[in-house]
Amino acid sequence: MELCIDIGNSRTKLAFFKRDQLLEYHVAVNSEILKLKQIVQNSSFSTVKLCTVSQENSEFVQFLQEYTNLYIVTSRSKFPIQLDYETPHTLGLDRIMAAVGAFKLFPEQDCLIINAGTCITIDFLDAKAYFRGGNITPGLRMRARSMNEFTAKLPFVEVKDETDQEQLFGRSTNQALIKGIKNGVLYEIEAYYNHLQEKYPSINVVITGGDGEYLVNRLKFKTFAEPYLVLKGINQLQLDT
C-alpha cells in the first residue's frame, strides 16, 4: 500500500492506494494539517508520494521525511506525459498531477482539465499525451474576497447557491456579486470548451477541486467529475531508482 498526499493552497488531501484502488481518504484545512500526523503514524504503507504547492507546512513535511519513506514530486520527476511548457520549473505540480490523472482516465484522448480550487486552472492535454499549457484564473471565493477588499462599499459574500437559478441578473447587490462570480466562471469555462471543441470534437472535460461539484452540475456540456484526480495522478508516478 502507498500513501499519496496533495498539499494545496487551502487544504491537504491524503489517500491510501493499493495499486490503482483508492482505499482510504482524509482531508484537513492547512491550518490544521498536523492532525493528519496521527493517521500517518497509525497506518501501514511502503512509500509516501508528496505533491505540494505550498511553501508552508514545513513541520508536517519534516515529520514525513523523518518517519516515512518519502518521495517529493518535483518538476524533474518522471511523468507519463510530456510537458510542452516554456517554464516547466514554474508549472504547478498540482496541474501536472491533474493532467497525469486525466491521462490515466482517458489515454490517447484530448482532455480539458478544470481544477476548481483557490484558483481555477484550465489546462489542455492532447491525445499524444502532451501537456500544451493552460490558464489560471481566480476561484469563486477569491473573486468574492477581492471585490470586497479592493472596493469601498462592496460586501464580502459567501458564494452559496441562489434560490432562483434561472434568473440571469441579480436584483440586489449581494445577488449581483454572487451571480457575477458564478456566471463569470461558468461562461469563462464554456468559452474555452467551445473554442477547443471546434478543433477537437471528441474532447473530454475532466473537473476536480473543491468547487468542482458546483461546475459539473451547471455546465451545458458533458463533463467527468473526479474529486481525487490529483491524488490519482500522484499514484501513477513511477519512483526514481
DSSP three-state, residue 108: coil
Among residues 6, 20, 94, 126, which one is catalytic? 94
Active site residue 94: yes
DSSP state of 89: G
Answer for the pair 1, 211: CB distance below 8 angstroms, yes or no: no
Helix runs in 1-157, H state only? 36-41, 58-67, 93-105, 140-149
- The set of cell numbers assigned to 162 is 441562489
Mention every residue, 6+ apart, whose C-beta is less than 8 A from residue 5: 12, 13, 14, 15, 48, 49, 50, 51, 52, 64, 234
CA neighbours closer than 13 Å in the CB half-sphere of residue 141: 10
Cα gap 12→3, rounded to integer Å: 13
Query: Annotated catalytic sites, by residue?
Result: 94
